[in-house]
Chains A and B, each alone.
Chain A
């Protein structure tokens, strides 16, 4: 994809992606904790948002994050069958299967949104996921689609 019409401050040179990770309290957040406690290194590009359960995540969070300029969004929860609330992640799986497919359909790059499972005991997997997602998003470059650019538009008008 082209990087020419990127908003200021988002030059691809030296650019580091901003990734929003929305994770459930019981599994993935604990997995992230474990990664920290075990001193496993992973890229510093993610901002973690903790929610009780993936089933609680309004798909709008993902879309809002993209609109607000996140270069990538990760959603992660307990593995199927291990949900603290029994089936919250199974409801989430249906929502996110259709959400991701619909985002891809309108032309959002596949690597912008990632859905996965990380359990409380998988500190290593958490680090791997963050590494993988960061690489995917880096390869895509800064996000431009669905992104709100009002400020940049105002600057352009002023010029």
Chain B
């Protein structure tokens, strides 16, 4: 990990010094112990701020989209000949790379607009799991020592194994190494446990519709509709989200539970073939809504129905951009028989 970080800084410096990129989106140490936060580096001198560790949680593809679309918008005022390309370098783990692929599939920008600094990923620490291990005590100091976190709280020193607090999406991650990159900053990381990726979904499917509805209702009742989940999601880049449209007004803003349920249901449904299970939405949710229980189902269906996983292949249309004459259609009703 330190090796990757060292290499990352070196390469970032080179890219910036050679003017190969205009900005690098990466992670720097957060203000609290054992955290990392997104950072935008524009000069070689700043490149030493970059870190790579198990606290690098956010899917940075979000910022890549933001930066490039803002830049393109600003260029509209110029004559076509005077327009310049802005190249965004991005520190890219597996999930981030798949979000970039989705942006490319959806023609949000060109491959030449981005420079992908691939990092092998072994997962990030889930703040909630960590807080639970510490009984909710504040972390006063913390360091990463090999596979363990050494933490100081008001009640003393504690050691927490990193593997015990890895985020759920990391534990079963199938693409922890980037699916595309311009350079790899280290040897590929060992596989996680993708065989179990749908275990939770399979369990949930076994419940009765009433039990599933009760769970959905309960989780959605927690949601305060702050839309942080959407803001954090790299696949939610619409200029005007349906949630804010007023003609037509797709979702009401009343306190009727159905308004929140419908907002969430459609926000999630928009992720068919577009959710890379990066966990960014889950990690930013202030209310701890179990979004993954639902989002992962979409991923499973996409695989079962269309044999595709979100952002897996760059030269291939996204699942809902594509169609086949022989797509499965067991769900189609036939009167007086079948279904």
CB distance from B220 to the nearest CB of A (A): 9
- Given the known interface contacts A67-B262, A90-B325, the answer about A132 and B335 at a Cβ–Cβ threshold of 8 Å is yes
What residues of chain A lie closer than 8 Å to B262, measured between beta carbons? 63-64, 67, 146
B324 at the interface (CB under 8 A from A): yes
0/1 string, A2-13, CB within 8 A of B gives 1: 000000000000
Q: Which residues of A contact B269 (CB under 8 A)?
A: 59, 63, 98-99, 102
Is B209 engaged at the interface, CB distance under 8 Å to the other chain?
yes
Question: Which of A21-29, A32-40, A44-52, A109-117 contacts its partner?
Answer: A109-117
Q: What 9 pairs between A and B have smallest CB-CB spacing?
A: A107-B213, A128-B335, A90-B323, A107-B212, A132-B335, A106-B216, A116-B333, A148-B258, A107-B209
Asked if A41 CB lies within 8 Å of chain B CBs, one says no
Known: A1-B210, A67-B262, A132-B335. A150 touches B254 (CB 8 A): yes
Please indicate the chain A residues that have their CB under 8 angstroms from the CB of B204 in the complex.
105
For the complex, give the distance between the alpha carbons of A101 and B250 in Å. Answer: 21
Q: Which residues of A contact B265 (CB under 8 A)?
A: 63, 102, 106, 146
Binds A, one of B231-239, B282-290, B296-304: B296-304
Task: List residues of A (115-139) whose CB comes within 8 Å of B's CBs.
Answer: 115-117, 125, 128-129, 131-133
> Chain B nearest CB: distance from A137 CB in Å?
12
What's the least CB distance linking A159 to chain B, in Å?
A: 18
Contact (A97, B325) CB under 8 Å given A63-B266, A107-B212: no
A64-B250, A101-B301, A105-B294 given; name 5 further pairs at CB < 8 Å.
Answer: A1-B210, A97-B301, A107-B209, A107-B210, A115-B332
Closest-by-CB residue of B relative to A145 is B213
Chain A residues within CB distance 8 Å of chain B: 1, 59-60, 63-64, 67, 80-81, 87, 90-91, 93-102, 104-110, 114-117, 125, 128-129, 131-133, 145-150, 153
| Chain B interfacial residues counted at CB < 8 A | 46
B interface residue numbers (CB < 8 A to A): 204-205, 209-216, 242, 250, 252, 254, 256, 258-259, 261-262, 265-266, 268-269, 272, 294, 297-298, 301-302, 305-306, 319-320, 322-325, 327-329, 331-336
Of all chain A residues, which has the CB nearest B216?
A106
**Contacts of A149 on B, CB cut-off 8 Å?**
256, 258
| Cβ-neighbour of B258 out of A102, A108, A128, A146 (below 8 A) | A146
Q: Which residues of A contact B298 (CB under 8 A)?
A: 98, 102
How far apart are the CA atoms of A63 and B269 in the complex, in Å?
11
- Is the beta-carbon distance between B209 and A87 smaller than 8 angstroms? no
Q: Are B335 and A129 in contact (CB under 8 A)?
A: yes
Interface residue from B242, B254, B301, B334 paired with A98 (Cβ < 8 Å): B301
Q: A17 to B262, alpha carbons, bound, how many Å? A: 22
Q: Could you list some 11 contacts between A and B, CB below 8 A?
A: A63-B265, A63-B266, A90-B327, A91-B320, A102-B297, A106-B294, A107-B215, A116-B333, A128-B335, A146-B262, A149-B258
CA distance A87 to B332 in the complex (A): 17
A132–B325 touching, CB < 8 Å: no
A97 near B258 with CB under 8 A, answer no
Instruction: Compute how far the CA of A132 lies from the CA of B332 in the bound complex, rounded to whole angstroms.
Output: 13
Assess the A148–B335 pair: CB atoms within 8 A: no
Q: Are A108 and B327 neighbours in the complex by a CB distance under 8 Å? A: no
Complex CA gap A64/B248 in Å reads: 11
Point out the residues of chain A lying under 8 angstroms from B250, CB to CB.
Answer: 60, 64
Find out whether the CB atom of B331 lies under 8 angstroms from the CB atom of A100.
yes
Q: Which of A59, A87, A133, A145 contacts B323 (CB 8 A)?
A: A87
A145 CA / B212 CA spacing, docked (Å) = 12
Are B209 and A93 closer than 8 Å at their CB atoms?
no
Q: Are B252 and A148 in contact (CB under 8 A)?
A: yes
Alpha-carbon separation in the docked complex, A60 to B213 (Å)? 19
> Which A residues are CB-close (under 8 A) to B333?
114-116, 129, 132-133
Task: Look across to chain B and name the residue whose beta carbon is closest to the beta carbon of A102.
Answer: B269
Is A104 a contact partner of B256 (Cβ separation < 8 A)? no
Which residues from B are CB-within-8-Å of A64?
250, 262
Instruction: Chain B residues near A125: list those with CB within 8 A.
Output: 335
List residues of chain B with CB within 8 A of the CB of A91.
320, 323
Q: Which residue on B lies nearest to A98, using beta carbons?
A: B272
What residues of B have a CB within 8 angstroms of the CB of A110 in the complex? 209
Cβ–Cβ < 8 Å partners of A101 in chain B = 297, 301, 305, 331
Please indicate the chain B residues that have their CB under 8 angstroms from the CB of A63 in the complex: 262, 265-266, 269
| Cβ B242 vs Cβ A60 within 8 A | yes
